[in-house]
Amino acid sequence: MSSKYQRGNTGPKKLKWRWKDETNNRSLPQSWADNGRTESPAEDEVQLYAIQCRAGLLLEWLVNTRTGKLLRGPLSEKPGIRVLYVTADGEHALVKESEARETDGSWKPPKQFTSVIAKDIEEADPVPDSSQDHYRRSVEELYDPP
């Protein structure tokens, strides 16, 4: 009698990139704000401004898509950048990760870096009252919001 039972990691698997911090948060450089692309919002979208960034690694893992469990890896790595975007009023925020470029020993944003993104407000998280003023001032210092 043979059994069809399989031990081990069965189920749907997928390669996914996971973040690993390498530095602390720092203010976004003014040149990134000035030279980044600006997305125009649709009627139901708001603009979010990049105000902080941190360098890290994007690590590629084999992941069980049902459980989220890491099965094997890291299989590869590449430099990454994690950017905090906030609304002009400082009340909503979201974080985006992207691949970075390594130039002369430092990490730079991708060539098509977007410093102002447009998203549905539902995609952003509410910011605690204690951080809103700081975020609002950061937007004002880096940009000239409407």
Q: Measure CA 135 to chain center.
A: 17
Q: How far apart are CA 87 and CA 118, in angstroms?
A: 10
Q: How far apart are CA 132 and CA 51, in angstroms?
A: 13
Query: For residue 128, with 0-12 CB atoms within 10 Å meaning exposed, 13-18 middle and 19 or more buried, which class applies?
Result: exposed
Q: Which DSSP state fits 138?
A: H
Q: Name which of 60, 61, 63, 59 is nearest 9 in CA terms.
A: 63
The reported pTM is 0.80
Q: Name which of 93, 61, 89, 65 is nearest 77 in CA terms.
A: 61
**Terminal-to-terminal C-alpha distance of the chain:** 74
Tokens of 64: 């069980």
Q: What is the mean pLDDT of the chain?
A: 87
Other CB atoms within 10 Å distance of the CB of residue 126: 10
Which pLDDT value is given to residue 146?
65
What percent of the chain has a predicted confidence (pLDDT) above 90?
51
Q: Pairing between strand 46-64 and 92-99?
A: unpaired
Q: How far apart are CA 24 and CA 116, in angstroms?
A: 22
Select the more confidently predicted residue: 103 or 26: 26
Mean pLDDT of 8-21: 73
Q: Measure CA 112 to chain center.
A: 15
Whether the pLDDT of residue 117 is over 50: the answer is yes
Which pLDDT value is given to residue 44?
93
